[in-house]
Amino acid sequence: MGTFIQLVIDGLSTGSIYAALALAIVLVNQATGLINFAQGGMAVLSAYIAWQLTAWSVPLILAILISIAVSFVIGALVERLLIRKFEGGDPDTAVVVTIGLLTLVTGVCAWIWTYNNRLFPSLFPLDTITIAGAVISIRSLGTILVIVAIMVLLQVLFLGTKLGLALRAVAINPQSAAFSGMPVGRLLMVGWGLAAGLGAVAGALVAPQLTLTPNMMDGALVYALAAVIIGGLTSPIGVVIAAWLIGVLENLAAVYVPFIGHDLKIAVPFIMIFVVLIIRPQGLFGRKTVVRV
């Protein structure tokens, strides 16, 4: 029983890493209608900025806050200078542009900071507490709580604020939004900026555990995309729950289903995707998109 609880807790903790990235992807999607494959790469860049600041002996909390602010600006600039040229065109082109951006950002990080592993100080102490026979590290607990807080904030932003409403309007129908007097361009920049800032939080949470390298987020990105599809592109709560499900089920399947084992567990989220897409194409928590003719 102790092992079972431990596996669930471990799953929630790795799931939170996927969730952090998945939330940033949802944010960009809600604000611009795009899937940004470069989200992981941009999060790594943010983490490097924070790391560089700590290397210049800026206190960790301050370094992360500065990196969030800088990332917001970088995100907004990327939208304005690069993505803007492809908006309104074929969405497939824009997606390919974001994949190119991922390669570029990874290359830039490697160029500046090399591929050597950098040790990123942890926001939380390494101590542990024991609950019901399972050991929970303060770090995992902290990561999980931060994710929950961000998830609630995003849900409130999109459903309860004017800015959220405007962001959604621009994403769903940019033309009508423009006709009703909304500053579409500026809202798109804000959407990308917010997502990049959120990515910076994700990067700072993940980097102590994975150690900072330019490719740090590549593996997590695959799981984050799976969480986004399973949870539904429109629902912050949905993707977080999906990411946790992936983390937990993956662990349990590896240990308790001998046929899967530790070598095939990466297939678990993708089997879940097939099942979910067949039963509920809009994702577990997503809303169906209705188009008025």
Binding site for another protein (CB under 8 A): 2-3, 6-7, 10-11, 13-14, 17, 110, 114-117, 119, 126, 128, 135, 137, 209-211, 213, 215-216, 219-220, 250-251, 254-255, 261-263, 265-266
Question: Residue 2 or 91: which CB sits closer to another protein?
Answer: 2
Q: Minimum Å distance from CB 227 to another protein?
A: 14
Question: Residue 10 or 79: which CB sits closer to another protein?
Answer: 10
> For 94, how many CA atoms within 13 A lie in the half-sphere containing its CB?
19
Question: Residue 92 or 263: which CB sits closer to another protein?
Answer: 263
Question: Residue 117 or 180: which CB sits closer to another protein?
Answer: 117
Q: Minimum Å distance from CB 192 to another protein?
A: 26
Question: Residue 30 or 39: which CB sits closer to another protein?
Answer: 39
Question: Residue 18 or 158: which CB sits closer to another protein?
Answer: 18
Question: Residue 32 or 140: which CB sits closer to another protein?
Answer: 140
Write the CA distances from 288 to 153, 161, 191, 291, integer angstroms: 23, 22, 22, 10
Q: Minimum Å distance from CB 21 to another protein?
A: 12
Q: Minimum Å distance from CB 128 to another protein?
A: 5
Rounded distance, CA 77 to CA 56, Å? 25
Q: Minimum Å distance from CB 116 to another protein?
A: 4
Rounded distance, CA 284 to CA 293, Å? 26
Write the CA distances from 118 to 5, 46, 61, 210, 219, integer angstroms: 32, 14, 18, 10, 18
Q: Minimum Å distance from CB 154 to another protein?
A: 24
Nearest to 126 by CA among 145, 143, 149: 143
Ordered DSSP codes for 183-207: -HHHHHHHHHHHHHHHHHHHHHHHH
Rounded distance, CA 251 to CA 121, Å? 27
Rounded distance, CA 97 to CA 14, Å? 29
Q: Minimum Å distance from CB 57 to another protein?
A: 19
Please state, as a whole number, how many other Cβ atoms lie within 10 Å of the Cβ of residue 239: 32
